[in-house]
Amino acid sequence: MSIAFATLVTNSDYARGARALARSLIAVRSTAPLLVMATPSARQQLSGELAEIEGFNARVVAVDPLPVSEAFRCRHERDRLHSHSPFTKGEKPAFHTPLDNFCKLRLWQQTEFERIVFLDADTLVVRNIDQLFDYPEFSAAPNLYETLSDMHRLNSGVFVAQPSDATFDDMLRKLDAPQAYWRRTDQTFLETYFPRWHGLPYTFNALQYVYFNLPELWDWDSINVVHYQYEKPWQGAHARSTELQVLTNLWHQVAQTGEIPQNLNNPAHS
């Protein structure tokens, strides 16, 4: 079976993330390459950064924004979406552009591969996850970051897909339906499109807030992927800096050395 990991790069910040992600996949001895889906602005402005990422068992794939209507774009423009559906649990950085998220759907056009595991560029693989290629479409972990009540929603930072032109065309038709509004962009759309999604253990997409909100669930012996879903480890100081210092240090070590430390301590909990 022809397999690959994939990520999306839309700007310089996510190029930094993708580079660390690529290094982490090498560190855990993954056998699959990383497809770096790059938008036109990323390809134009970041040719050097993308070429460097390709040195870490990765391949850049050109993707264009989806051909959606102007009304759709207006409904999902950053300021309008964030004012209508604000993030209340954490802070999305200024470089985050919600419309870019829909480019993930271009993954279904990569039909030279039978199975792709998508990883957001703000994830870090800390244990080999090649077993995910044996999971069916559509498999994803829950959006667990605060309480166990989060378990019924998926998080689209890590998922298993089966590329298909027919699926992609069908997605486009349903994505830009009249008055369609996807509150959390691709995540809400994919949860709706695949209502019977297969649940992966949360350890395959451990959202960083679990580290301090649910410390009893954070065990480094079982964590496979760390997802920096709100504040990014390369941002510098932010409101969660102290709480996330261990995870931030982890990201920087992998980004700089390509090595995953073996002496990580589990968070304290009562």
Amino acid 1: pLDDT: 79
The predicted structure's pLDDT at residue 96: 62
The confidence score (pLDDT) of residue 72 equals 87
Residues 6 or more apart from 174 whose CB is under 8 A from it?
Answer: 180, 193
User: What angle (nearest 5°) sits at the alpha carbon of residue 154, between those of residues 149 and 156?
Assistant: 145
Q: Whole-model pTM?
A: 0.93
- Residue 81: is its pLDDT beyond 60? no
Q: Which strands, in side-by-side order, build the sheet including 115-119?
A: 58-62, 34-38, 3-9, 115-119, 154-161, 139-142, 198-199
In a domain? residue 137: yes
Distance, CA of 218 to CA of 214 (rounded, Å) = 7
- Is residue 198 in a domain? yes
DSSP E strands, 21-121: 34-38, 58-62, 115-119
Number of domains observed in the structure of the chain = 1
- Tell me, yes or no, whether 160 lies in a domain: yes
Would you say residue 107 has pLDDT above 80?
yes
Q: How many residues does the chain have?
A: 270
CATH of the domain at 12: 3.90.550.10
pLDDT for residue 76 = 76
Instruction: Please identify which residue in the block is written with the tokens 């297969």.
Output: 198
Query: Is residue 269 a part of any domain in this protein?
Result: no
Residue 46 placed within a domain: yes
Q: What is the pLDDT of residue 269?
A: 75
Q: What is the DSSP-derived secondary structure letter of residue 126?
A: -
pLDDT, one tens digit per residue, over 122-132 is 999 999 999 99
- Give the H/E segment covering residue 128: none
Residue 35 near residue 58 (C-beta atoms within 8 A): yes
Q: Is residue 115 a part of any domain in this protein?
A: yes
What are the tens digits of pLDDT across the range 191-211? 999 999 999 999 999 999 999
CB 119 within 8 A of CB 32: no
Q: Which domain holds residue 35?
A: 3-257
Residue in this structure with the two tokens 């079976």, named with its chain if needed: 1
- Coil, helix or strand at residue 231: coil
At 270, the pLDDT band (50, 70, 90 cuts) reads low
Task: State the distance between the two ends of the chain, measured CA to CA, in whole angstroms.
Answer: 46
Q: What is the pLDDT of residue 90?
A: 53
